[in-house]
Amino acid sequence: MSVLAAPEIHIEWSALAPVLIVLGAAVVATLVEAFVPRQARRLVQVPLALLSVAAAGLVALQLALTASSSTTAAAQGNLAVDPMALYLQLAIAACSLLGLLVIADRTVQGEDAFAPQASAVPASEYEEQVRRAGWTQTDVFPLVLFAVGGMMLFPAATDLITLFVSLEVLSLPLYLLTGMARHRRLLSQEASLKYFLLGALASAFFLFGAAWVYGATGTLNLYVIQISVSSVTGLSPILVVGAVLILVGLLFKVGAVPFHAWTPDVYQGAPTVVTGFMAACTKIAAFGALLRVIYAMVPGLEWSLEPVLWTVAILTMVVGTVVGLVQKDVKRLLAYSAIAHAGFILVGVTAYSLEGLSGSLFYLFTYGISTVGAFGVLSLVREVDSDGHMRGEATGLDQWRGLGRRSPLLAGCFAIFLLSFAGIPLTSGFVAKFAVFGAAFGSGAAALGIVGLACSAAAAFFYARVIQVMFFDSPPDEEVRLTTVGPGIGVRTLGFTQIAIAVSLALTLVLGIVPGWFLSFTEELSSLLMLTR
Amino acid sequence: MTENLVLAAAEVTPAASAAWLVIAIPLVSAGILLLAGRLADKWGHLLGVAASAASCVVACWVFFAMLAQPAAERAQDVVLGTWIAGGSFTLDLGLQIDQLSMAFVLLVTFVGTLIHIYSIAYMEHDPDRRRFFAYLNLFVAAMLTLVMADSYLVLFVGWEGVGLASYLLIGFWNYRTEYAVAAKKAFIANRVGDVGMLIAMMIMFSQFHTLSFSGVFAAAAHASPATLTLIGLALLLAACGKSAQFPLQSWLGDAMAGPTPVSALIHAATMVTAGVYLVVRSGPIFEHTANARLAVLIVGAITLLYGAIVGCAKDDMKKALAASTMSQIGYMMLAAGLGPVGGIFAIMHLLTHGFFKAGLFLGAGSVMHAMSDQVDMRRFGALDKFMRVTWLTMMAGWLAILGIPPFAGFFSKDKIIEQAFVPPDGQPWQAWVFGLVAMLGAGITAFYMSRLFFMVFQGKARWTDGQHPHESPPLMTVPMIILSLGSIGLGLVLTLVKFDEYLAPALVEGHHGEPVLNQYVIMGSTLALVVIGAWIAWVKFGTKTAVVPVLPPAADGLVRAARADLYQDTLNNALLVVPGQALVRGTTEVDEKVVDGAVRGIGALFQSIGSVVSRLQNGYVRSYAATMLAGVILLVAIVLAVQG
């Protein structure tokens, strides 16, 4: 446990294997960019990325299944390899594997989601030349791998500095990826810049908070802070304020109100394939870190921090739901839905009990899977202009009118994802909501549970509206079609995205219809974690 | 008797173990009809009817096998497997086969099959008839899941399923905007009800760690009254949403936008009575909480008067019937709130109502069929000679709902009125209030139903030009005739076979109290009120000399209020919609603009960046950053306030 000067550096290679595989692959992928000829890069990058993430997931699964109740403190006590960390690494690997499939996909014309050359000025001569030459930006694969590596470290970090480093490792590639959309590049670059500036601000708050906590306790290790908190009688305001500032940094990443403002703009501006990956995996990683901080550092502080978490949870649910009701763009709608869901998960986190932890872990995985699937569908629905050319994604709700008739399969899949987000029985979303709200009722936070139920009932309304638009509204008639941008229609691709959608659809239904085995899995992991606390 | 319910899991008979087929057959059929697409257009409706009929046959088999058992062993909990086996929460997937669920199952499958048959002819010219039958099958499967569930969670699956099917069927003709609006209204009311259901389940789950009926009822015997009252009120909220009870009743009238067979099946006979089923099924919970029972009584009493008053002023035939449905379910709810003895009559009225109201709706559909889909009763009149079968079957339904002996409604409704005069928990004032309300309601019912019947069939013809009324084809009239047999005889039959003794083992034990008035006095005065109500209607609308204006005449305040659903929509608008919209507008505005305005002056740091990047999206980075800063200050203030 000692974080003080250790004479010999000892690294637990096997326990850290999932992270090491991904980060190692990321380094190799960077070298590929430097040394492999342009034409062959994609052929190398795609399998490398997919295989390394899959391998990391399998190793994490193996470690999770054999996990004992004792926490392995790895890397000089800076990382915890415990059931929760392994479970979240597995969830991140699963979601990013699906996300990578969507990212690697391209249309039958060979067009992927990214700008041919991100450094080219939008609408410049150079950009046009590059586009004609058919270049593609394969740097996205190492970037994604670095992000995944950071995400996997994030929930395992038990030291404020390690936590900060992994936060930055996961964030920086995401800022870049956000700015690389092929279509609507200005929107994409604007989103990237906003995300970067606000992310930097949030990181500053985090660091500031870490400094205050260090000042109050003289240590950066979460578990040592916990011990020093319980030994101090009368909490120092410095410690409490520091803890709040650390929470702010993490709440920013999960998109909780009032630190959510970036979410709609970034979700809308980023390439849709990146949005899906980011929405699913960042949420899992950031909530993982939040759970770690709350369960490791906060004991002793919970009475002070509870009102803060209550306020944020209620605000997040209400704002996400209410503002979601008026959205006219499918991507922004899903962004507000993501905010509302962050609030629902916060209810489970705030419940601060075995059921709450287990419910939150279940929720994170199922929500991540459904999110990747939903954004996968979104990435396939493209505008057709009057000449019949495929253009960028059709994200306007109007363009989705009658999609159920043009692309029934896509619309049907999307409807099921939406039903899951709405929490309708027989989908994983229902079980997840039941788990977290049930935990709230069970731990004396019934008021939070009731607000959550009311919000999810209201949120169901905007999901139902999308379903209604897809299946019941008639498509825009010919006249409208010629004067405005065309209606959305499913695009033909290599089929990677369809595989990802099929897998996430299957998981959404399986975890909705027979959730028992998975619930008992998360519950077992949570009880191991509670034991060690 | 509660213990009896818990220990009732006797050995499962072969028939009961096949009971899952009752649900599976229509579900599979719905799947086939939806997946086969246009391929199934030719035979889709036949498959739909066959599935519903097959489900009915299996249900009959299960029912008679159950009757063969001694009364104490009839209730069976058929476990199909473990659904959820979490560490702290285990739930078996099972079916509750008992006297209560089977009564409902027979109603759903039998009336459902008749309405399927009727729909073949009614929907003949609709290009989407196959899809319509798929939704009907889906509805039947979901409704059966709801009533056969052995736990609140499985019940909730069916509960959401019927809501979904109802939504799809109301909006079936969704190319018409007002129908889509109606579907939306039904959706909202149902979601409010769902929140109630979820809250009830959450409380049960957190307090009792189970959601199965047997587990919850066993735990309820030892739970605190406050908990049970909360659960009871939440269940009542759920029932109000689903059963169109006050204050969530406004959607039912608009739901009449759907095809008429849907109104008959879902919005008269089955789905809207699910709330009554829920309250009766949860008897062991309501038994221990007089407060929640009183709330049920109040809701039932208000709704029965409310529906009756609204029904008096409606000129739209289907909306008048919808108001009457609301009012009759109010009677059932009132009865359910009276305790176990009342619960028996609630279910009995539910069954007879299922027949006579479905018959009345199918009759209304037949009239619409004859009069080119008109629903304005002011443009009907004197149709009796042109549609003899429709006239006679609707007459049976009319006499049944009036409660004229020996028609079906007499045996069930009269019992409810009598039971309302029994003081519950030794509170005579309640007996007088609810008894008189129920009796008065019967009189008003007689007026508005007679008004409807006379305006449609008697009096002078007030048709629009070019009408050639004709009788409907046999596919429509035969189901109507069968339902009218139920309207005539079901009440007598149920009384003769001692339905109350049959049903009693499925409910908690009740004790028969004495009404505050002699029962013959109650019966006599009720009948007198009914005759007076019907006579007024006859004088105003039925005689050959009665003048019925083709346009609604100017009227006084009460009639105007009743025409406007007693201003329920206006009230909803003022209480919910306007504040709701204000909330949405306000939150959106704060979210997007206000902070920006506040910091415009001090945002110099981000000024240059902001002006470059803000062209495409409306949010400035500086205002987002200011929001964050404000948030941090807020949170720190909260935490320091708590510290201090």
- Is B180 within 8 Å of chain A by CB? yes
What the block records as the tokens of B485 is 């047999």
Q: What is residue B445's three-state secondary structure?
A: helix
Distance between CA atoms of A396 and A371, rounded to whole angstroms? 19
Residue B428: Cβ within 10 Å count = 11
Question: Domain residue spans in chain B?
Answer: 566-643
User: What pTM does this model have?
Assistant: 0.87
- Which chain A residues are Cβ-neighbours of B642 within 8 angstroms? 303-304, 307
**Average pLDDT over chain A, rounded to an integer:** 86
> What single letter denotes the amino acid at residue A126?
Y
**Average pLDDT over chain B, rounded to an integer:** 82
Q: Do B619 and A205 lie within an 8 Å CB cutoff?
A: no
Q: What is the pLDDT of residue A177?
A: 94
- Is B38 within 8 Å of chain A by CB? no
Structural domain for A403, as ranges? 17-532
CA proximity to A516, closest of B203, B153, B164, B155 = B153
Phi first, then psi, for residue B601 (nearest 5°) are -70, -40
Q: Model confidence over A508-524: pLDDT tens digits?
A: 999 988 888 888 888 88
Percent over 70 (pLDDT), chain A: 91
Q: What is the pLDDT of residue B614?
A: 39
The DSSP line for A99-139 is HHHHHH--BTTS--SB-S-TTSPTT-HHHHHHHHHT---TT
Q: Model confidence over B29-43: pLDDT tens digits?
A: 988 888 877 787 888
In a domain, A342, yes or no: yes
**Range in A24-28, B463-467, B586-590 the model is least confident about:** B586-590
Phi first, then psi, for residue B18 (nearest 5°) are -95, 5
Q: Model confidence over B526-552: pLDDT tens digits?
A: 889 889 988 888 888 877 777 777 777
In the predicted model, is pLDDT for residue A270 greater than 90? yes
Q: What is the pLDDT of residue B426?
A: 65
In a domain, A12, yes or no: no
Domain count across chain A: 1
How many residue pairs from chains A and B have C-beta atoms closer than 8 A?
Answer: 175
Q: Model confidence over B435-444: pLDDT tens digits?
A: 899 989 999 9
Q: Do A198 and B621 lie within an 8 Å CB cutoff?
A: yes
Q: Model confidence over B219-247: pLDDT tens digits?
A: 888 888 888 999 999 999 999 988 888 88
- Which chain A residues are Cβ-neighbours of B83 within 8 angstroms? 514, 516
Confidence of residue A98 (pLDDT cuts 50, 70, 90): very high
Distance between CA atoms of A425 and B127, rounded to whole angstroms? 31
Q: Model confidence over B132-162: pLDDT tens digits?
A: 888 899 999 999 999 999 889 889 999 988 8
Q: Which residues of chain B from 611 to 640 reach within 8 Å of chain A, CB to CB?
A: 613-617, 619, 621, 623-625, 627-628, 630-632, 634-636, 638-640
The CA-atom distances, in angstroms, between B381 and each of B141, B153, B316, B367, B555 are 39, 49, 14, 11, 22
In the predicted model, is pLDDT for residue A492 greater than 90? no
Kindly state the average pLDDT of the residues A288-297.
88
Q: Do A453 and B83 lie within an 8 Å CB cutoff?
A: no
Q: Model confidence over A137-193: pLDDT tens digits?
A: 889 999 999 999 999 999 999 899 999 999 999 999 999 999 998 888 888 988 999
Kindly state the average pLDDT of the residues A350-367.
91
- Which chain A residues are Cβ-neighbours of B90 within 8 angstroms? 516
Q: Model confidence over A30-44: pLDDT tens digits?
A: 999 999 998 889 999
Distance between CA atoms of B205 and A441, rounded to whole angstroms? 8
In the predicted model, is pLDDT for residue B355 greater than 50? yes
In the predicted model, is pLDDT for residue B85 greater than 70? no
What lies within 8 Å, CB to CB, of A395 at 6+ separation is: A268, A272, A329, A330, A331, A332, A378
Q: Model confidence over B508-524: pLDDT tens digits?
A: 777 777 777 788 888 88
Q: Do A258 and B631 lie within an 8 Å CB cutoff?
A: yes
List the single residue in B153, B583, B630 with the smallest CB-CB distance to A258. B630
In a domain, A1, yes or no: no
- Which chain A residues are Cβ-neighbours of B174 within 8 angstroms? 468, 472-473
How far is A261 from chain B, CA to nearest CA, in Å?
A: 6
CA proximity to B100, closest of B512, B422, B513, B508 = B508
List the single residue in B85, B157, B584 with the smallest CB-CB distance to A520. B85
In a domain, A368, yes or no: yes
- Is B190 within 8 Å of chain A by CB? no
**Range in A68-82, A236-250, A380-394, B145-159 the model is least confident about:** A68-82
In the predicted model, is pLDDT for residue A239 greater than 60? yes
Phi first, then psi, for residue A508 (nearest 5°) are -60, -40
DSSP designation for B12 = P
Residues in a beta bridge with A181: A114
What lies within 8 Å, CB to CB, of B521 at 6+ separation is: none
Q: Do B87 and A527 lie within an 8 Å CB cutoff?
A: yes
